[in-house]
Amino acid sequence: MNQQLNEVVCFGVDVASTHLDIAVHGVQQVQRIPNDERSINRWLKTVARSSRLAVEATGSYHQLLARLAHEHGLQVFVLNPRDVKRYAQGLGQRGKTDRLDALVIARFIHREHQELRVWQPPTKEAQRLDDLLRTRALLQKQYAAQKQSLVHRPELEQVIEDVLQSMQAALTRLETLIAQAARNLPEGRAGLRCIMSIPGVGVLTGAALLQLFTRAKDASCDAIVALTGLDPRPMDSGSRKGIRRLSKRGNAEMRRLLYNAAMSGARTLTWRGVYERERAKGLPATGALIALARRLVRVAFSLFKSHSMFDQTRVCA
C-alpha cells in the first residue's frame, strides 16, 4: 500500500491549439482543459510536484504547458511524435483520437522515462533564436511554393512577382535578426564566428548549429550528428547487410540547411576533394553530399568547443 502511495504519477497530454487532453497512467478517464495559462495553472495546483508529465513536440502549442509544468516542479518530457506513433502501433492500437493519444503518452512515459532525457526550458535568447529559425523556415517554404506557381499561372505573373519581392525582403530581414539572436547566446558572437569560418557554412546554418551546440555542448561528436538526424541507421539481419538510411531524427530544417551548406562546400577547393572521394567510393551525389554534411557538423562542433578558427591545411579525406 505504501508503495502505491509513493508511486510517481505519470501524466500524458495530447496538445491542440485550443485545448489539452490529460490522461493519468492506469486511469481510463481523460480530462480536457483549455490550452491557456489560467486553466493550466489551475490544473497544476491539483498535481503533486513529484509527478511526471509528457507531451509530444508540436512546434509551439506544447510550450506553454511544458514551461508552466516545469516551473511547478514536475519532470517534463517532450517526446518525438514519431516515437509515440510507433509505440502506439506496437501496442496494437487501431484507432487514433485525442483521448487515445493521451493514454498512450501516459503509458509511454510511465514505462520508458528512465531512457529519456528530462526537458529543460530554453533561455530567453535560445527561444528567440528558435522562433526566428522556425518562422524563416516556414516563410521559405511558402516562398518556394509561390515561385513554383508562376509556371502554372502566367496571367498572375506580376502579382506573384510583387508577393515574392515582399517575401524575399522579409527573408532577408529575418536572416539579419537570426544573426543578431545567435550572437546574443552565451559565447554566441565568438562561437558563430568560429563556425562560419568553415567554407560553405553561412549565417543560417551557423546559427542553427550554434543553437544545437550550445544546448548539447557536453555531447560527443557522434551524439551531435545523431541530433541532426544525419546519422546512418543500420538495417542488418543475420548475414544480410541492409542499406543504410538516415535516421532523420530532430529538426528537418537543420538537415536542409546542412545539405545546402554541403552543396556550397563541394564547390570550394577546400571540400571538393572530400566530395569527390566520397563519390569515388560509389556513393551517389546525394549520398556524397550527406557524408560531407556530417563532416561539416563534426568540424563545426570541434571548432566551437576549442574556440578555434577553421584551418584548411588540416582537411584530409
Tens-digit pLDDT profile for residues 94-125:
888 999 999 999 999 999 999 999 999 999 99
Mark whether 135 and 27 lie in a shared domain: no
Query: What is the C-alpha end-to-end distance of the chain, expressed in Å?
Result: 63
CA 75 to the chain's CA centroid = 20
**What pLDDT sits at residue 317?**
52
In this prediction, residues 225-245 reach a mean pLDDT of: 83
**What pLDDT sits at residue 3?**
38
**pTM, to two decimals:** 0.84
**What pLDDT sits at residue 5?**
44
Mark whether 209 and 317 lie in a shared domain: yes
* Percent of the chain residues topping a pLDDT of 90: 77
**What pLDDT sits at residue 155?**
77
In this prediction, residues 197-220 reach a mean pLDDT of: 95
**What pLDDT sits at residue 6?**
54
Mark whether 195 and 315 lie in a shared domain: yes
Mark whether 293 and 311 lie in a shared domain: yes
Final residue in a domain of this structure, among 59, 80, 115: 115
Mark whether 83 and 41 lie in a shared domain: yes
Mark whether 214 and 312 lie in a shared domain: yes
Mean pLDDT of the chain: 92
Q: Note every long-range contact of 66-70, with CB atoms under 8 Å and residues 24 or more positions apart, other chains counting.
A: 66/119, 66/121, 67/121, 68/37, 68/40, 68/41, 68/44, 69/40, 69/44, 70/119, 70/120, 70/121
- Fill in the amino acid letter for 15: V
Copy the grid coordinates of residue 311. 584551418
pLDDT of residue 238 exceeding 90, the answer is: no
Mark whether 246 and 300 lie in a shared domain: yes
Mark whether 315 and 199 lie in a shared domain: yes
For residue 61, the SS3 value is coil
Question: Which residues form the domain of 145?
Answer: 123-184
CATH number of the domain bearing residue 18: 3.30.420.40
Domain count, the chain: 3
- How are strands ordered across the β-sheet holding 10-15? 30-34, 19-24, 10-15, 52-56, 75-79
Mark whether 174 and 138 lie in a shared domain: yes
Residues 6+ apart with CB under 8 A from 30: 21, 22, 23, 98, 99, 102, 103
Q: Helices (DSSP H) in 216-284: which residue ranges?
A: 221-228, 252-266, 269-280
Cα(40)–Cα(69) distance, rounded to whole angstroms?
Answer: 8
Mark whether 305 and 207 lie in a shared domain: yes
Instruction: Read off the pLDDT band of 156 (50, 70, 90).
Output: confident
Mark whether 21 and 102 lie in a shared domain: yes
Final residue in a domain of this structure, among 115, 148, 172: 115
Final residue in a domain of this structure, among 115, 137, 156: 115
Residues 6+ apart with CB under 8 A from 83: 108
Name which of 77-91, 189-203, 242-256, 292-306 the model is least confident about: 242-256
Mark whether 75 and 146 lie in a shared domain: no
